[in-house]
Amino acid sequence: AQSVTQLGSHVSVSEGALVLLRCNYSSSVPPYLFWYVQYPNQGLQLLLKYTSAATLVKGINGFEAEFKKSETSFHLTKPSAHMSDAAEYFCAVSEVAGGTSYGKLTFGQGTILTVHP
């Protein structure tokens, strides 16, 4: 069964500092991996996704993530944090099993990012 583990439920950085949010996955087949962001009182918004093309994926708002099969990781980074990046971030996995992909997402527990001035 597929699963996702996000290391660190809270991450705090200073404005302008590097953002690193960690995600490790478990999947018996090549996974599709996603990062979503949730701002307070809003739904989830897709930041980026990995679908077995390039291992370095660029997303919106300056975020990117690198798929590392050997480490079963898909960490999210941003070179310079902005106050508007403060939100909760979710890593998610979706499998293609038996040639069928239903699109359902399995989410990690989420990481709350705080950005200090």
Partner 1 sequence: DSGVTQTPKHLITATGQRVTLRCSPRSGDLSVYWYQQSLDQGLQFLIQYYNGEERAKGNILERFSAQQFPDLHSELNLSSLELGDSALYFCASSLRPTVTYEQYFGPGTRLTVT
Residues of this chain that interact with partner 1 (CB under 8 A) are 32, 36, 41-46, 49, 51, 90, 94-96, 101-110
Give just the sign of the alpha carbon dihedral 101, 109, 35, 71. negative
C-beta closer to partner 1: residue 73 or 94: 94
Please state the closest distance from residue 106 (CB atom) to partner 1, in A. 7
Please state the closest distance from residue 80 (CB atom) to partner 1, in A. 26
DSSP β-bridge partners for residue 4: 25
C-beta closer to partner 1: residue 85 or 95: 95
The residue written with tokens 């962001």 in the block is: 37
For the chain, the helix, strand and coil percentages under 3-state DSSP, each to the nearest 5 = 5, 55, 40
User: 114: alpha, beta or left, given left = phi > 0 and alpha = psi -120 to 50?
Assistant: beta
C-beta closer to partner 1: residue 28 or 41: 41
Please state the closest distance from residue 44 (CB atom) to partner 1, in A. 4
| 30 DSSP assignment | P
Q: 64 with 34: CB under 8 angstroms?
A: no
C-beta closer to partner 1: residue 81 or 93: 93
Please state the closest distance from residue 81 (CB atom) to partner 1, in A. 24
